[in-house]
Structure 1
Amino acid sequence: MPEPLDPIPLSALQHWAYCPRQCALIHLEQAFEDNVFTLRGQAVHARADQPGVEVRAGLRAERALPVFSDRLGLIGKADVVEFQADGTPYPVEYKHGSRNKKAAIAACDDLQLAGQALCLEEMSGRAVPEGALFYATSKRRRVVPITPALRTAVETAAAEIRAMLASRQTPPPVNDERCHACSLRDLCQPAALSHGADLDRLHQALFDPDA
């Protein structure tokens, strides 16, 4: 029987998809700082993070439901899971901002939601074909089909995160538009570190007789 995998937080999927270095700083180096975006996110989650059950329109909704996948080594908490009459779970993840996010950011949210769906499938024994992201600013849902491609992306990201944690190596900075909204920008120092890499290359070229 294979050894159980060390659990990876579901939130790491979103962090990894956004920026592998951000993921490493949070989950490997245990570094985190808030900014206006993370504080808004915490405010949005304030109610969803309070465990509870309510029944409405024939659905049972559970808030702050712990979820896990032994197969993928994932663990976390779903903001809201709506259980249909036949017991099929439907995860709903709360996010700040509008549902009209840039495609790259939306894809990060989709990956985290898909991770919850795979956990719920393993826990319930029922297929979870879709879930939804609820955006606080627009107060509207965006339905996310849990496609084969998205399922594969979750498995790939989980394996890559686990490999990064095992290597204990933090990926280099990217220093692109993602850095502007990142709460870890001051800790990461993307501009300084990326400039340092440029200087190293210049130094090597200056003293390389074959360059």
Structure 2
Amino acid sequence: MSDFVEEDDYLLLSGVQHMAFCERQWALIHIEQLWAENARTLEGKYLHARADDTFADETRKDLRVVRAMPIVSRSLGIRGVADVVEFHKVEAGHDDISVRLNNRMGWWQPFPIEYKRGQPKPDDRDAVQLCAQAMALEEMLDISIASGFYTTFRRGAESQ
């Protein structure tokens, strides 16, 4: 018997947040495929556009920013896209928290970043999604990730 979930049965990372908020909402979106855009979701898509740019991969000195990074966890049976993963260059390599990156010198420590529209939620649903992203990255990169960040934004404002 395998410890891994079949690929056809993988759950979407975006669904983790939906499930943490409301099981009925999750089922309507992810099983029944019922979804209707509204002003808030359209505004969120607009504000989220930069994070979703799959061609934006930038390096500034000791920081590499990867946007719309596909991530997967075979053991958890989840897949999706991390809004942003920042890789911070570290002085010495620590096999448990840093990795080597293709075509980059040195060791790099990853931090997942999730963007959300509006105000911070009063519960932990966004943190649960971010944690799932970190766990998938841990499995993919064979390291430990101690922290990540989520940022809320709305027109004309941003907070962390």
Q: What TM-score results when the alignment is normalised by the length of structure 2?
A: 0.80
Q: CA RMSD in A?
A: 1.4
Q: Could you tell me which residue of structure 1 aligns to residue 108 of structure 2?
A: 87
Deviations 1:3-57 (A, max 9, x none): 7412100011100011100000111111111122211221122111111210125
Taking the aligned partners of 1:69 and 1:93, their CA distance within structure 2 comes to 17
SS of the residue aligned with 2:76?
coil
Structure 1 stretch 109-118 or stretch 31-40: which is displaced more? 31-40
Match in the other structure for 2:93: none
Distance 1:132 1:26, change over 3 A: same
SS across alignment from 2:25: helix
2:35 is equivalent to residue 18 of structure 1: no
1:110 counterpart residue number: 127
Candidates 28, 33, 38, aligned match of 2:36: 33
1:68 corresponding residue in structure 2: 72
| 1:49 aligned residue (47, 52, 55) | 52
Q: Which has the higher strand share?
A: 2
- Aligned residues: percent identity? 43
**Counterpart Cα distance in 2 of 1:76 and 1:102:** 21
User: Pick from 129, 135, 147: which aligns with 1:130?
Assistant: 147
Q: Which residue of 1 aligns with 2:118?
A: 97
Letter in 1 for 2:52: D
Please say which of residues 24-33 and 130-139 is displaced more in the overlay: 130-139
Structure 2, unaligned stretches of length 5 or more? 90-106
Structure with higher Rg: it is 1
Match of 2:82 among 53, 78, 82: 78
Distance in structure 2 (CA, Å) of the matches to 1:136 and 1:79: 13
Q: Once the 2 structures are TM-superposed, how far is the Cα of residue 82 of structure 1 from its aligned partner?
A: 0.4
In the alignment of these two chains, the number of paired residues is 137
Runs (4 or more) in structure 1 with deviation over 2 Å come to: none
> Partners of 2:152 and 2:2 in 1: how far apart?
40
Distance 1:37 1:89 in 2: 30
For residue 84 of structure 2, what is the amino acid of its counterpart?
Answer: V
